[in-house]
Structure 1
């Protein structure tokens, strides 16, 4: 499969697109464009695990396909600084070792993350101005400013000798984004007149009618809402939404409250925003330590944890485990964010935990506290009217989002739409667009300090242990296979560990070993397998579980 992919991609006159992450899912974006024997990587992001991935902190697309072609990598360009587009850089860049291109705010965020990982001086970050045009190998790149829920979201115009692609990144058309530039409609119009072979675009809200809405409207609503409540107020939002931080600060100031940031990622974003002039005029935020000393009706907290992340500031506050901040009955938490698909359970747990403490929880079900950063159907239609591509290729969405996006593109008179999943390689130009190959994909998880393959044997064993428990037995025999002592066994997660609970297993092992033919009793592997099967059969018969089982054979 890899050999077929390499042969296809070496055709110098074809432009191909290959998503390794972010097609058929929301998060961990990793896209590649191939042309002229070179590769351009667009974004390198993370997603977050669910309850089926115990012990994993974050997950990301496996970059092996790109890493195996390290010498052919022209570079990595980051469209914007959200975690699902930038969060895997510090983890995966050592496998790629290519230059990184980003606009100033994104570069600032990236430098902070790389410094924490000890990679700041190893990585070549090439900062590009907004709206600039520059080469990356055989790719001629132009940045077009759009709006989103973070400063400096960029659509990429990727021009090659074979054709031109608009890679939208995450975007919407916000007429008043409060922070940063408005969308560059003139550049989009010029691009449409020039001609676009394919639009590779955001599908997150392809099922939602109308428009996403403006940050300016959220600010007015938050100012009014904060005035309704006494005692301590906390607002939780995406840390990267600098306009929302500014709006929360404005809401606090309007009601005589000092505003604190609670959560490391908020302080990181605040630093990057001030370095690039995006919080000019906003007073300095206070620390959690300072907020703890203020009367409860004189402080407003901005906290991480809007998605129920277990290690976030709000989760620790709800568990009464934060070193500085507490919330009590009569306090209020405003969830100024959307629920990312897959995060419903942790968010629900967090909100219930707060409610049990007597804290008032306000979400977008009760009040207007959030607008999405992604285009709804009217905005998607307008984009297609401006750009008029020959092909629509939806990404950044689950299957139903991609299908809805493709259908909308056809309604907008786009001649062709192609719905793909991770690993499907599409020839974009010369057209028509077509899936020409399939490459292996996978996921990596951050497990403590290591990256592990989530499809690999070690993690699969952990999952089996999670659902079926584990058992470890020791069998001591002489050289002829005679048992010298009763087998010893420890079972985790299934039954008690005292002698009475395990005696039945001990006897089952004893019978299995003694029942082996004489020749097999001198074979350690035969003894080990007989004991292993005896344990699993016994537990399956008694409690319906087949644990991960290991047997140590000791010869004396």
Structure 2
């Protein structure tokens, strides 16, 4: 699961003066971003995020990077650099700090404020170092310079890491919006200077490498939101990521212009927008934002609700509204705006929510029928421009699925990076920068670590397979009592099915088959409980397969008396 390189073994000892780069998440997937840099026996981590589960991972809340390869080296970690405050870059930090709470966190003001609020829930008080663009900090043997980049959240930073092995630049997530809402441009002159100095290895965002041209400016959305607000006759409900401060600012501006009040719905939305407002990243006119409990005093045409759930998350506010499992009920004439893109893998969940909302009479506005979202990631045109400025000697695409990584590598090759210097790795694959050349040298464990409630890492692929079988095929339980001496049946078999689509009465025809098999085994002197359970499982399984073409989970219980 962690890599398709079965020929690779553990990496050799890092050569003297070399730099090792080990991605533990974010390559071959959208999310779970985490990269470990090693020089001189010391470690620097860039980002530590989470991945959200898909339908084939039932019951899972979050997916973490696998810390196995660094777990016995926690004392070697000099810091965790956080490029920005999105969950796929900071959501895994609490789980790493549980293992060593004093690892320093380095990031911008907003990024640190968001992670500190999250860590409070885990009762962890971190050691933090606030930086901003233009700052340069020594973190162990790593000389780190921070560069402003434009993204869909304020205060995003790229990091340039200098060691005697060379200059490495990690872009984080970025785009080149030339008309950003906060006026904070991606600092191309800073990248050009680094290019002149000589970038030995560039780790670059790949998310939109397949998309031609340039990403439209964020401010293009304002006009579309204005049109939607002008046409709405009842409540407006906007679903967005709880960290998308720029998008929420546009919603607030549109609400203010059209005489509406705004209420934030959902714990993470309330928390993050409160932080952004307190730090000055969100401009809120006096009296515009009200508590959700004050909505009863307002007419429908005066209300805007801002909530989470734009990705169809089952427990998020919007999904619960669509299922009529929320205090806010969707009614005929409401307008719902999904102000985000679809993360790959979430399509079915999102369309299920859209259908649920439409069923209750809402008009749903989304990226497919209106420009209510622009991406926070550079498209192919921007990446080409960026590579011509940076002129990297080696390129390692990051943050993307396989198709994104390959497309990004091809863009680098077009701008002059030698093809053998465009290193396509994925989670767990180790890349060493030695004598100015980046090469894959080995692999480490980098599988999925599942969070299920309070359980971290206890859910395995085997248990997920069991959950999928239970969800898709159901369960059949069989209870039999046998004589401990003779092995003959003295009670049962009793059969019960749940979710298998087979009526309990239908099992009358399989009971004689089980009795015959158990009697035969008793006559042959077989009395081992495990063997008898396997015999019951095979008998029932064959009967179900022959008659129903189904493969439910079969749970045999054999008791001796």
TM-score surpassing 0.5?
yes
Match of 2:557 among 538, 552, 556: 552
The 3-state SS of whatever aligns with 2:181 is coil
Separation (CA, whole Å) in 1 of partners of 2:501 and 2:324: 33
CA separation of 1:73 and 1:519: change in aligned 2, threshold 3 A: farther
Offset of 1:104 from its aligned partner?
1.2
Separation (CA, whole Å) in 2 of partners of 1:138 and 1:345: 46
Separation (CA, whole Å) in 1 of partners of 2:550 and 2:307: 43
Query: Which residue does 2:255 correspond to in 1?
Result: 252
Separation (CA, whole Å) in 2 of partners of 1:222 and 1:29: 32
Corresponding position: 1:59 with 2:63: yes
Offset of 1:332 from its aligned partner?
1.0
Corresponding position: 1:492 with 2:498: yes
Corresponding position: 1:144 with 2:150: no
Question: TM-score, length-normalised on structure 2?
Answer: 0.93
Query: Which residue does 1:128 correspond to in 2?
Result: 131
Offset of 1:144 from its aligned partner?
0.5
Corresponding position: 1:539 with 2:544: yes
Offset of 1:454 from its aligned partner?
5.6
1:260-275 alignment runs, 5 A limit: 260-275=263-278
Moved more, 91-100 or 152-161: 91-100
Separation (CA, whole Å) in 1 of partners of 2:501 and 2:210: 49
Q: 1:173-200 CA deviation, whole Å, 9 max, x = no partner?
A: 1223223622222321221111110110
Query: Which residue does 2:176 correspond to in 1?
Result: 173
Corresponding position: 1:79 with 2:83: yes
Separation (CA, whole Å) in 2 of partners of 1:431 and 1:490: 66
Offset of 1:419 from its aligned partner?
1.3
Separation (CA, whole Å) in 2 of partners of 1:365 and 1:545: 38
Separation (CA, whole Å) in 2 of partners of 1:93 and 1:518: 60
Offset of 1:493 from its aligned partner?
1.9
Offset of 1:486 from its aligned partner?
2.4
The 3-state SS of whatever aligns with 1:84 is helix
Query: Which residue does 2:324 correspond to in 1?
Result: 320
Corresponding position: 1:507 with 2:512: yes
1:12-411 alignment runs, 5 A limit: 12-97=16-101, 98-119=103-124, 121=125, 123-179=126-182, 181-280=184-283, 282-283=285-286, 285-323=289-327, 325-411=328-414
Separation (CA, whole Å) in 2 of partners of 1:207 and 1:553: 57
Separation (CA, whole Å) in 2 of partners of 1:156 and 1:532: 57
Q: 1:370-415 CA deviation, whole Å, 9 max, x = no partner?
A: 2110001121122112211101111111111111111111111123
The 3-state SS of whatever aligns with 1:235 is strand
Q: 1:507-547 CA deviation, whole Å, 9 max, x = no partner?
A: 22211110115453332232222222112122122212233
CA separation of 1:525 and 1:228: change in aligned 2, threshold 3 A: closer
**Contact 1:219–1:244 (CA<8 Å) still a contact in 2?**
no
Separation (CA, whole Å) in 2 of partners of 1:289 and 1:125: 36
Offset of 1:22 from its aligned partner?
0.7
Offset of 1:555 from its aligned partner?
1.8
1:469-484 alignment runs, 5 A limit: 469-478=474-483, 479-484=485-490
Offset of 1:48 from its aligned partner?
1.6
Consecutive unaligned residues of structure 1, counting only runs of 5 or more, are none
Separation (CA, whole Å) in 1 of partners of 2:525 and 2:467: 31
**Contact 1:103–1:152 (CA<8 Å) still a contact in 2?**
yes
Query: Which residue does 2:535 correspond to in 1?
Result: 530
Question: TM-score, length-normalised on structure 1?
Answer: 0.94
**Contact 2:277–2:284 (CA<8 Å) still a contact in 1?**
no
Aligned residues: 550
CA separation of 1:12 and 1:73: change in aligned 2, threshold 3 A: farther
Q: 1:212-247 CA deviation, whole Å, 9 max, x = no partner?
A: 122222223322331122211122222211111111
CA separation of 1:453 and 1:486: change in aligned 2, threshold 3 A: closer
Moved more, 486-495 or 418-427: 486-495
Q: 1:117-174 CA deviation, whole Å, 9 max, x = no partner?
A: 222x2x3233334432112222111111111000111101011111111100000112
Separation (CA, whole Å) in 2 of partners of 1:535 and 1:447: 32
Query: Which residue does 2:3 correspond to in 1?
Result: none
**Contact 2:238–2:306 (CA<8 Å) still a contact in 1?**
yes
CA separation of 1:39 and 1:12: change in aligned 2, threshold 3 A: farther
Q: 1:416-442 CA deviation, whole Å, 9 max, x = no partner?
A: 311122111111332322111022221
**Contact 2:58–2:464 (CA<8 Å) still a contact in 1?**
no
**Contact 1:180–1:278 (CA<8 Å) still a contact in 2?**
no
Separation (CA, whole Å) in 2 of partners of 1:104 and 1:411: 37
Separation (CA, whole Å) in 2 of partners of 1:370 and 1:5: 43
Separation (CA, whole Å) in 2 of partners of 1:196 and 1:34: 18
Separation (CA, whole Å) in 1 of partners of 2:524 and 2:331: 71
CA separation of 1:546 and 1:232: change in aligned 2, threshold 3 A: closer
Q: 1:347-374 CA deviation, whole Å, 9 max, x = no partner?
A: 1111111112121111233322221100
Consecutive unaligned residues of structure 2, counting only runs of 5 or more, are 1-5
Which runs of structure 1 show a deviation greater than 4 angstroms over 4 or more consecutive aligned residues?
Answer: none
